[in-house]
Amino acid sequence: MPEIILKNVTKRFGKFVAVDNLNLVIENNAFITLLGPSGCGKTTTLRMIAGLETPTEGSISIDGKVVFDADQGINLPPNKRDVGFLFQNYALWPHMTVYQNIAFGLENLKWDKKRIADRVHELLGMLRIEQFEKRYPSELSGGQQQRVAIARTLAPGPKVLFMDEPLSNLDAKLRMEMRTELKRLHRDTDSTFVYVTHDQLEAMTLSTRVCIMDTGVLQQYVPPLEMYANPANLFVADFMGNPTMNFIDGTADVKGNTAEVTFGGLKGSFAADASIALSGKEVVVGIRPEYIRIDDDGAMEAAVYSTLPSGMETTVRLNVNGTQLTAVVFGDVDYPVDSKVRFDLTKTAILFDKATGKNVARGTLKLL
Amino acid sequence: MERTRKLQMRRLLGATRAYLSKPANIILLVFFAALCFLTLYPLLTMLLETVTVHSGREARAVRGLGQSTGDFTWYHFQKLLGTFDDGGEAGIRLSNSWIQFVEPLLNTLAVSVTASAIAILFGGTVAFLITRTDIKYKKFVSSVFVFPYVMPSWTLALFWQTFFKNVNIGTGTSNGIMASVFGIFAPEWLVYGYFPISLVLGLHYAPFAYILIGGILRNMDANLEEAATILKTSRLRIIRRITLPIVMPAMLSTFLLVFASSMSAYAVPVFLGSPVRYYVLSTKMKSLMDTYSGQAYIIAAIMILFGVAILLLNQRVTNSRKQFTTVTGKSGQISLIRLRKANRPIAILLVVVLLLVAVLPLITFALESVIIKAGDYSLSNMTLDFWIGRDLDYLDQGDSTGILLSTKVWKALGFSLLLAVTCSLAAGTSGILVGYGVAKRRGSKLASWVNSLSFFPYLMPSLAFGAIYLSMSSKIPWLRGFALLALVGAVKYLPFASRSGVNAMLQLSGEIEEAALITGVPWWKRMTRVIFPIQKSTFLSGYLLPMVSCMRELSLFVLLVPTSNTILTTMLMQYSEKGWAQFGNAINLLIIVVVLLVNFTVNKLTGASIDKGVGG
C-alpha cells in the first residue's frame, strides 16, 4: 500500500519557484532520501509533506488520507498528520531537561503520567542515553543531543519520520556511527523515513530510494545503486559518486546499438545495452573512476598527475594527451608523480547527449 | 465556466484558511490595523490641525481674512514659515518666523549635534576601555555608567541648575551651591543655554552610545585584531585601521539615534533654556500650544519629518552594517590592551567623573530638600520637615505636610506606578507578539510594514506625540484620563519592546517552535512553555524599559494629564515652576529612587536589564 503521494506539488515564494510540479510516491516502510545541492527544494518538499510549509498547488496524501489539496482547500496542520520531524540543529528546548524534552510532546497528547514515564524510559534505553535523563541539552555533546532529538521525535510513535539533514552537525566519525543506527532504527520502528541530505554518500548508504532534485525539479527517483550505475542525466551522474565520474566531451557515430566514439584524443567502440537514442553527434562520455583500471597490460599509456592515497584506496589523476582522467585503485598503492602508467577501461561507460545532458545509452566502451 | 469559478473560489478559500491558520499572520494583521489607527490616524488628525483655525487668539487673528474657528486656513504656515519681515526697522531677527521657528531650529540642531558628539566620545571611550583594555574597577564603572540613562533626563539638568545658579543670571532668585558655598558666580553661558543643555543631554545619552558601541566591540571577532598583530601592526594603527572602521556603523547609528532623542528632548531645555529665553523646537512648541496651536502642530510635524529622515538614514547605515555581522564571530579570547602605568590614573579619573555625573546629583537633591533657607548649608538651617513634617503652612509652599505624609504625593506615586505597570504590560506583550509575527514572516511585506509601524512612535518627539493624542482624544469620548495616558504610553514605548521582541525571536531558530508544533502543542502553549522561557531575559527587558521610561516620563504626559498632581513627574514640574525648591527636590529624589529601585529589582529577579533592550 503506497504511503505518501505527492501530486503536481508546486511551491512558489513570490516569483521564485522552489518546487516545480513534483510527483512522488513514497512507499510504506521505505527509507527515502531527498538529495540535491542547497537551494534545490528538498527541504521545502519535506516541510510541505510535514505541513510546516503550505504548497502553492497540488495535493498530498499520507496513508490514504488527503492532508493537503489546493483545489479542495484541504490543509491539515502538522500535528494532525501523524508525523515526526527531526531537525538539523536538533531544536532541543534548552530550558527543559532531557526527560522533559521527550515527555513534553506526550503530555500534549494527554497521556497519563505512568505511560509517559514508561515510554520515555523505553526510548532512553533504546538510544542508550539513560544516564542523561536529568541533564540539560547544553550539558550534552553533539552526538548525545542528536540521540535526545531522535528520542523526542520517536516518542509519540509516528508512522512517518521526517529528517532534515540530521547528521550534518556531527563530526565524521560520529556521523558514520549514527548512520548505522538510523538504518537499524528504520527497521526497528517499522515506519516510513523521509530524509533530506546534500551528502550523496548518506543517500547512497541509507536509503531504499533516492529522490534527486535540482532547482526545484525532480531529476531521478530510483534505488541508490541503480542511480549510481545508470544516472538519468549529467547532473545526477555528477552528483552521485565520490570521486566524481569522468566526463569527456566527444563525438559519436551511431550504428544501431553500437557507436564509434572519439573523445579527448582517444578512440573507442561503444556497445550499448539497448538502442542509442542520440539526435546529433556531440556526446559526453561518462566513466566512473573505478572503471579505469591501471594495469601494466593496459591499452593506453598515461602520465601520473597526482595521487591521493587513503590506505584503503588511492585516487590517481592521470594525464592522457592533455585530457585528465580520475582513476581509483584499491589497496595501499602509490605512484610517483610524472611516472608513466598503462590503463584500460573496464565495465561500463555512459553516453550523454551533450545538447540535452540526458543519458542516451549505457554500455561497454573499449579503447581502440 | 461555472465549475472553474467554483474551483477558484474553493482554492481561494483554502488559501485564506491556510493563511489564517498561522497565528503569526493573524498577529500581523491585527497589529497592522491597530498601529495604523494608533500612529497614522493621529498623525493625520494632527496634520489637519495645522490647517484648521482654532478658537482664541488664532480665531481673532484670522478674522480679517474672513475665516473663523474650524475653517480651513494656510494662516499658520504663512505666519510660522513665511513671515520674515514684520515691516518697520526691526529686521529679520525680530520677525515672527525667525523668533518662533528659525532660531529654535538652529538651536535644536546645534544642541543635538553637540550632544551626539559628546555622547559618542564619552560613551565610546568608556566602551573601548571596558571591552578592550585591562582598566581597573570595570565592574563598578559598567554598572554605574548606565545610571544617568536610567535616571530621568532632567536629573542632571536640575543638578546643574541647583549647583551653578546665582542671582546675577537668568530669573535668578537664589544662589546655588557654587555661589553660596564657594562664592563663585558662574557666567550665564555656563549655567543656561547652549553649553549646559548640550552637555547634559550628551551625558544622559552617553550610556546609550556605550551600550551600542560596546555591544559591537564585545561581539567583534578578536581574530580580526590578532591577524593584524601577527602582521606586526602597532596597537594604535590597529585601533585606527581595524577597530574603528568596524564600529563605525554603530557609531553613526548612535549618532543618529542620540541626535533624534536630543532633538525631541523637552525637560532639559525647559530647565536650562527657558530662564534665559533660549528655545529649542520642543520648548517652542509647548509655549505655542496654548496660544497658536496651529503653529505648534506645524513644529511638531517638522520634528516628525526630521525623525523619519533620521530613521531612513539609520536604516541605510545599519543595513550596510550587515556586511560586518559576518565577521563578528564568537571567539571569546580577546587580548586586552595593557594600560600599564596609565591604568590607575585613567580609572580614577573615570570613577571621579562617574561620581560627579551619577552620584553627586542624588546627594545634592537630598541636601537641597532639607535646607530651610536657600543657599545656607549649615546644620542649623536643615530640617526633615519637607519629607515628614506636619503643619507647614507657614512655609507658604502649597503643602502643609512633608511629601512622605502627603496623600497627594502618595496618590500621584500610586497613579504613576499603576500607569507604568499598565504601559509596560501592554507595550511589552505587544512587543513580544510583534517580534513573533515579524520574525516568523520575515521577508513578507506585511511583516516589514508592521515592523516599521511599530518603530514609528520612536521617531515622534514625545511632546508632539502627546499633542497629537490630545487632538485625537477630543474626537473619542472614552479616551480620557488614565485610559488616554496608558494608551499613549503603551504606543510610545512599543518600539523598545518590539525591538527586543524582534531581536529575541530572530535569535531563536524557527525549528524550536516547529519541534513543538509537530507534536500538536497549541500556539499559546508554544509561546508560554517554549518560546518565552528560552528568551525570558530579553523579553523581560522589553517590559522593563517601558516601565522605567514611563516612571520618569514628563514630556509625553505633560499635555495630557487632567491636573498636574496626577502623576509625580508633572507634579515635580509644577513645584519647580512655582519655585518650591525643597518639595521639588524631595519629589525628584523620590522619582529617581523609585526608578532605580524598579530597575534594580527587576534586574536581580529576572536578569532583564536596560542594556539588553536597547538594541538600536
The pLDDT tens digits for A266-307 are: 888 888 888 888 878 889 999 999 999 998 888 888 999 999
pLDDT (tens digit per residue) in A214-246: 999 999 999 999 999 999 999 999 999 889 999
Rounded to an integer, the average pLDDT of B65-85 is 82
Q: Are residues A269 and A346 in the same domain?
A: yes
CA count, 13 A, side-chain hemisphere, A231: 26
Q: Are residues A51 and A192 in the same domain?
A: yes
Please tell me which residue of chain A has the smallest CA distance to B530: A93
Task: Give yes or no for B40 touching A (CB within 8 A).
Answer: no
Taking the CA of residue B524 and the nearest CA in chain A, the distance in Å comes to: 13
Using the beta-carbon criterion (under 8 Å), do B515 and A108 form an inter-chain contact?
no
Q: Are residues A227 and A249 in the same domain?
A: no
pLDDT (tens digit per residue) in A143-165: 899 889 999 998 888 889 999 99
DSSP B611: H
The three grid cell numbers given for residue A144, joined into one nine-digit string? 548525545
CATH number reported for the structural domain that contains residue A210 in this entry = 3.40.50.300
The alpha carbon torsion through B421, B426, B428, B432 (nearest 10 deg) reads 160
How many interface pairs between A and B have CB atoms less than 8 angstroms apart?
83
Distance of CA A17 to the CA centre of its chain: 22
pLDDT (tens digit per residue) in B376-405: 777 787 888 778 877 777 766 767 777 888
The three grid cell numbers given for residue A338, joined into one nine-digit string? 610524472
Domain boundary, last residue among A191, A209, A238? A238
Rounded to an integer, the average pLDDT of B469-495 is 87
pLDDT (tens digit per residue) in B254-311: 888 888 888 888 889 988 998 888 999 999 988 888 888 889 989 989 988 888 888 7
CATH number reported for the structural domain that contains residue A302 in this entry = 2.40.50.140
Task: Give yes or no for B509 touching A (CB within 8 A).
Answer: yes
Q: Are residues A92 and A197 in the same domain?
A: yes
When divided into structural domains, chain A yields a total of: 2
Task: Give yes or no for B3 touching A (CB within 8 A).
Answer: no
Q: Is the pLDDT of residue A317 over 50?
A: yes
Angle value at C-alpha B307, between B302 and B311, nearest 5 degrees: 150
From the options 2.40.50.140, 2.60.40.10, 3.40.50.300, 1.10.3720.10, give the CATH code of B410-505+538-616.
Answer: 1.10.3720.10
pLDDT (tens digit per residue) in A58-69: 999 998 899 999
> Parallel, antiparallel, or unpaired: how do β-strands A217-222 and A246-255 relate?
unpaired
B521 chain-A contacts, CB cut-off 8 A: 79, 104-105, 108
Taking the CA of residue A185 and the nearest CA in chain B, the distance in Å comes to: 20
Q: How confident is the model at residue B614 (pLDDT cuts 50, 70, 90)?
A: very low
Q: Is the pLDDT of residue B119 over 80?
A: yes
Rounded to an integer, the average pLDDT of A13-23 is 91
Using the beta-carbon criterion (under 8 Å), do B7 and A94 form an inter-chain contact?
no
pLDDT (tens digit per residue) in B132-159: 888 888 888 888 888 888 788 888 888 8
Q: Is the pLDDT of residue B312 over 70?
A: yes
Taking the CA of residue A184 and the nearest CA in chain B, the distance in Å comes to: 23
Taking the CA of residue A221 and the nearest CA in chain B, the distance in Å comes to: 27
Q: Are residues A164 and A263 in the same domain?
A: no
Task: Give yes or no for A23 touching B (CB within 8 A).
Answer: no
Amino acid identity, position B379: L
Using the beta-carbon criterion (under 8 Å), do A71 and B10 form an inter-chain contact?
yes
Please tell me which residue of chain A has the smallest CA distance to B522: A108
The three grid cell numbers given for residue A86, joined into one nine-digit string? 527531526
Q: Among B44-53, B185-194, B327-336, B391-400, where is mean pLDDT lowest?
A: B327-336
pLDDT (tens digit per residue) in A173-196: 888 888 998 899 898 888 899 999
Of B15, B511, B530, the CB nearest to A89: B511
Q: Are residues A134 and A261 in the same domain?
A: no
B71-134+151-343 maps to CATH 3.50.50.60: no
State residue B87's pLDDT score. Answer: 57
A109 chain-B contacts, CB cut-off 8 A: 519-520
Rounded to an integer, the average pLDDT of A249-256 is 88
Q: Are residues A277 and A128 in the same domain?
A: no
Using the beta-carbon criterion (under 8 Å), do A73 and B13 form an inter-chain contact?
yes
Using the beta-carbon criterion (under 8 Å), do A73 and B15 form an inter-chain contact?
yes
State residue B330's pLDDT score. Answer: 41
Using the beta-carbon criterion (under 8 Å), do B534 and A105 form an inter-chain contact?
no
Domain boundary, last residue among A211, A238, A265? A238
Q: Are residues A52 and A195 in the same domain?
A: yes
Task: Give yes or no for A76 touching B (CB within 8 A).
Answer: no
Amino acid identity, position A87: F
Q: Is the pLDDT of residue B492 over 50?
A: yes
Q: Is the pLDDT of residue A328 over 90?
A: yes
Domain boundary, last residue among A188, A210, A238? A238
B534 chain-A contacts, CB cut-off 8 A: 93-95
B15 chain-A contacts, CB cut-off 8 A: 54, 70, 73
Using the beta-carbon criterion (under 8 Å), do B514 and A87 form an inter-chain contact?
yes
Please tell me which residue of chain A has the smallest CA distance to B515: A91
Distance of CA B311 to the CA centre of its chain: 15
Taking the CA of residue A206 and the nearest CA in chain B, the distance in Å comes to: 24
A151 chain-B contacts, CB cut-off 8 A: none
Q: Are residues A263 and A281 in the same domain?
A: yes
State residue B138's pLDDT score. Answer: 84
B522 chain-A contacts, CB cut-off 8 A: 108
Of B14, B21, B516, the CB nearest to A70: B14
Taking the CA of residue B414 and the nearest CA in chain A, the distance in Å comes to: 36
Portion of chain A with pLDDT greater than 70, in percent: 99
Q: Looking at chain A from residue 140 to 159, which residues have their Cβ under 8 Å from any Cβ of chain B?
A: 152, 155-156
Q: Are residues A222 and A278 in the same domain?
A: no
Q: Is the pLDDT of residue B329 over 60?
A: no
Element (H, E) at B314: helix B293-325
Angle value at C-alpha A271, between A268 and A275, nearest 5 degrees: 130
Query: What's the pTM?
Result: 0.80
Domains B71-134+151-343 and B410-505+538-616 are alike in CATH topology: yes
Q: How confident is the model at residue B169 (pLDDT cuts 50, 70, 90)?
A: confident
A82 chain-B contacts, CB cut-off 8 A: none
Task: Give yes or no for B13 touching A (CB within 8 A).
Answer: yes
- Closest C-alpha among B447, B421, B455, B376 to residue B550: B421
Using the beta-carbon criterion (under 8 Å), do A50 and B518 form an inter-chain contact?
yes
Q: Looking at chain A from residue 53 to 72, which residues have their Cβ under 8 Å from any Cβ of chain B?
A: 54, 69-72
Q: Are residues A39 and A78 in the same domain?
A: yes
**ipTM here:** 0.77
Please tell me which residue of chain B has the smallest CA distance to A55: B15
Using the beta-carbon criterion (under 8 Å), do B525 and A108 form an inter-chain contact?
yes
Q: Is the pLDDT of residue B324 over 60?
A: no
Range of the domain at A157: 2-238
Which comes out higher in pLDDT, residue B317 or A113? A113
Q: Are residues A185 and A80 in the same domain?
A: yes
Using the beta-carbon criterion (under 8 Å), do A85 and B11 form an inter-chain contact?
no
Domain coordinates of chain B in residue numbers? Answer: 71-134+151-343, 410-505+538-616
State residue B334's pLDDT score. Answer: 57
pLDDT (tens digit per residue) in B213-231: 887 777 666 667 777 777 7
B512 chain-A contacts, CB cut-off 8 A: 91, 93
Taking the CA of residue A90 and the nearest CA in chain B, the distance in Å comes to: 8
